[in-house]
Structure formats: structure tokens, C-alpha cells
Amino acid sequence: MSDKKPERRDFLFTASYAVGAVGVAAVVWPLVDQMNPDASVKALASTEVDVSSVKPGNTITVLWRGKPVFIRRRTQEEISEARSVKMEDLIHPEKDEDRAKDPEWLVMLGVCTHLGCVPLNDKGDYDGWFCPCHGSHYDTSGRIRKGPAPLNMEVPKYEFVNDNTIKIG
């Protein structure tokens, strides 16, 4: 076959296959994309939370996009513990200053970055969170310190609308 010179017919075959492939792809894509988040799911993009009743050392959990969000009002000890950690001791180095702009408030997705379980409050070897599923330990800044999780718990986009209200998303 290789010693044959390409003919008009070979060109026609190749062109037909190419057009056919484009056609199949155009039909398959809607069937694949229908599984992505739909408009009603995307519409639930932000949520506002009243945090006036949260005392230092307490955490509240709210649901945002079907996922729990931890809002913790940290104590002075927890803040100083989180800020005194050396970067080289971290699996996923992030400064506490970047994770909690207002040091008193830590807002993050309460989702373990290993396989998505909800870690438990005030547990584990680093005074922060402990995931019961596969044993990941997080510190008081929600950073991964020990266990199979590869990343720190994610800090979502959020802002203080006023002194008592946080808007997530």
C-alpha cells in the first residue's frame, strides 16, 4: 500500500472520514455536556451568612453549593499557632495571612482535599481538623499537615458585607 501513489480516491476517503469525525463529535458533545452543572445549579452561586452569634473558639457550618463551609472565629492562641508555623514544615505551603485576611475569621470549604469527606472540628494532632475517612490532619489554619490529602482546605471567595455578615461566593 505504501508504494502506491496517493490518488483522488484516497483524498476522497480521507476527506469523508474527517467530515464524518467532525459530525460524530458535534453529536456526541451535547450528550456529554448535558452532564455538566446545569443553569439552576450554577444559579446558586452565592450565599450570605450572619455570623454575629459566633463566639471565639466556635465554628459554624453552612451549606454553599451543596458543600459545607466552615466559618471559625479563632482564638488568639489558634492564630498565633497558625502564624508561627515554618513554611518548610508544610505539605502545601500557604501563609496563614493569605488564608485569613481578618485573622479572627477563618472561612474555608469543609471538604477534605483527599476524597471529599467533612473533617471533624477540634480534632487531630494539630489542634485543627481531622478527617475520619482516611486520617488527614489539618492545623488551625486548615492546612494539611499529615495524612493522604494533598492540599490545604480550600478558601472560597468571600467578603464581609458588614460587620456581622459574610457573603460566600
Partner 1 sequence: MSDHEYTPTSKVGKWFNDRLPLLTLANHLTDYPTPKNLNYWWTFGGILTFCLITQIVTGLTLAMHYIAHADMAFESVEHIMRDVNYGWLIRYIHANGASMFFLAVYIHIFRSLFYGSYKSPREIIWIIGIIIYLLMMAAAFMGYVLPWGQMSFWGATVITNLFSAIPLVGEGIVTWLWGGYSVDNPTLTRFFTLHYLIPFLILGLVVLHIWALHVPGNNNPVGIDIKKPSKDTVPFHPYIVIKDGFALLMFMIVFAFFVFYSPNILGHADNYIEANPMVTPAHIVPEWYLLPFYAILRSVPDKLLGVVAMLSAILILAVLPWLDTSKIRSAVFRPLYKQFYWILVADVLILGYMGAMPAEGLYLLIARVATAYYFLHFLVILPVLGFKEKTLPIPLSITEPVLGGSTNLAMAKNKESLDK
Residues annotated as part of the active site: 134
What is the distance of C-alpha 155 from the center of its chain? 7
Among 115, 125, 159, 165, binds partner 1 (CB under 8 A): 115
The answer to whether 38 contacts partner 1 (rule: CB under 8 A) is yes
Return the number of other C-beta atoms located less than 10 Å from residue 99's C-beta: 19
State which residue, 149 or 166, has the beta carbon closest to partner 1. 149
Query: If we measure between CA atoms, which residue out of 120, 122, 158 comes closest to residue 140?
Result: 122
The answer to whether 66 contacts partner 1 (rule: CB under 8 A) is yes
27-46 as b/e: b if 16+ CB within 10 A: eeeeeeeeeeeeeeeeeeee
Q: How far is the CB of 152 from partner 1 (least distance, A)?
A: 14
1/6 Cα distance (integer angstroms): 10
| Contact code string over 68-97 relative to partner 1, x by CB under 8 A | x-----------------------------
Query: Which residues bind to partner 1, rule: CB under 8 A?
Result: 32, 35-38, 41, 61, 63, 65-68, 114-119, 131-135, 147-150
